[in-house]
Chains A and B, each alone.
Chain A
């Protein structure tokens, strides 16, 4: 109610904003002013879109999913039910290799993004291929590890610890798998349409997704593997 006069004066001052201001709540005119300002720069950049912030908030909810899985694992980590323990199961050199794959893939994706901002299509595509291959190596090693554990009888059904372990690490691996699929989709899009604004925006979101998965992996290798191997 009290906001109404403010809204009308804003529309009066800036008639170009009237479409947006009508659709939006009166409390958020700032958003449209920012967008207008970036339009004034000429071509709208990818940042003129609200998508990166929206995608960031999605990533934060994804982080909360992982927080619940970490909490579950933390609670059940000692519930071995007479089955194998972390110390007997975990192969740290293999985890170190996987960690290296994912860490290097973070910087190769960074290189892809830098080439994208410089408008280098070939460079972007090349770095995306390298990133996808590193991601596949990560998932491959993880599947090998899972297969090895299951072969030894350390299946998700064996104990609450193993259920929580496979859920947490498997959810992360599934995220990486979908990240690889997304890289493939974006490579087709960039090959067909080039580094147009929509593709740049999508690649920005994908980069955030990929880097967040690396952040989650820091938690996995530290709290699951390293601290597990200490017990």
Chain B
């Protein structure tokens, strides 16, 4: 609560909107993190499963890069509340996406139209 009250010397605005240098660094990293997955998929140098894992990891990495270099989220901006909101949202996003996939995968598996009717199993 009082962390940024007792820190009047550090002007919170000065660090938050980046510089030409930081934008360029972020852009170059993001460009590489975009180009590599496109190249991996379009050239097919790796096995599909490996490609999928690598591409997913690169996407997560690129989201982090954008968040830091373009959205300027850090522990200081707005007294840390943007970061708190972001972490909360990230948890919710992961629960929504992976929770849905998990539930629907099992629902799909249990409700296959050709499956035998579960008379004995679900009778009682």
Interface residues of A (CB under 8 A from B): 30, 33-34, 37, 41, 45-47, 52-53, 56-57, 60, 63-64, 67-68, 70-72, 74-75, 92-93, 96, 99-100, 103, 106-107, 110-111, 113-114, 117, 208, 211-212, 214-215, 218-219, 221-223, 226-227, 229-230
For residue A217, give the distance in angstroms from its CB to the closest CB of chain B: 10
* A226 in contact with B18 (CB, 8 Å): no
* A47 in contact with B34 (CB, 8 Å): no
A-B contact pairs, 9 of them (CB 8 A): A47-B16, A74-B97, A103-B27, A211-B71, A222-B37, A222-B55, A222-B58, A223-B56, A230-B41
* B66 in contact with A214 (CB, 8 Å): yes
Q: How large is the interface on B (under 10, 10 to 19, 20 to 34, 35 or more residues)?
A: 35 or more
Question: Among B26, B82, B97, which residue has the most Cβ atoms of chain A within 10 A?
Answer: B97
Number of residue pairs A-B, CB distance < 8 angstroms: 125
* B48 in contact with A230 (CB, 8 Å): yes
Nearest B residue to A116, CB-CB: B17
Q: B34: which of A37, A103, A223, A230 is its contact (CB, 8 Å)? A: A103
- The distance in angstroms between the C-alpha atoms of A111 and B85, with both chains bound, is 26
Nearest B residue to A68, CB-CB: B96
Interface residues of B (CB under 8 A from A): 1-2, 4-5, 8, 11-13, 16-20, 23-24, 26-27, 30-31, 34, 37-38, 41-42, 48, 51-52, 55-56, 58-59, 62-63, 66-67, 70-71, 78-79, 81-82, 85-86, 88-89, 92-93, 96-97, 99-101, 104
Residues of B within 8 A of A41 (CB): 11
- The distance in angstroms between the C-alpha atoms of A93 and B37, with both chains bound, is 13
Known: A110-B70, A226-B38. A60 touches B89 (CB 8 A): yes
Residues of B within 8 A of A103 (CB): 27, 30-31, 34
* A215 in contact with B71 (CB, 8 Å): yes
* B70 in contact with A211 (CB, 8 Å): yes
* B42 in contact with A56 (CB, 8 Å): no
Known: A60-B89, A64-B89, A214-B66. A53 touches B82 (CB 8 A): yes
* B100 in contact with A71 (CB, 8 Å): yes
Residues of B within 8 A of A106 (CB): 27, 30, 66, 70
Known: A71-B101, A103-B31, A227-B55. A92 touches B85 (CB 8 A): no
Q: A47: which of B12, B55, B67, B85 is its contact (CB, 8 Å)? A: B12
* A60 in contact with B66 (CB, 8 Å): no
Residues of A within 8 A of B58 (CB): 222
Known: A214-B66, A222-B55. A30 touches B13 (CB 8 A): no
For residue A96, give the distance in angstroms from its CB to the closest CB of chain B: 5
- The distance in angstroms between the C-alpha atoms of A218 and B70, with both chains bound, is 14
Known: A114-B17, A117-B17. A52 touches B78 (CB 8 A): yes
For residue B113, give the distance in angstroms from its CB to the closest CB of chain A: 13
* A64 in contact with B93 (CB, 8 Å): yes
* A67 in contact with B97 (CB, 8 Å): yes
* A47 in contact with B71 (CB, 8 Å): no
Q: A67: which of B17, B38, B51, B92 is its contact (CB, 8 Å)? A: B92
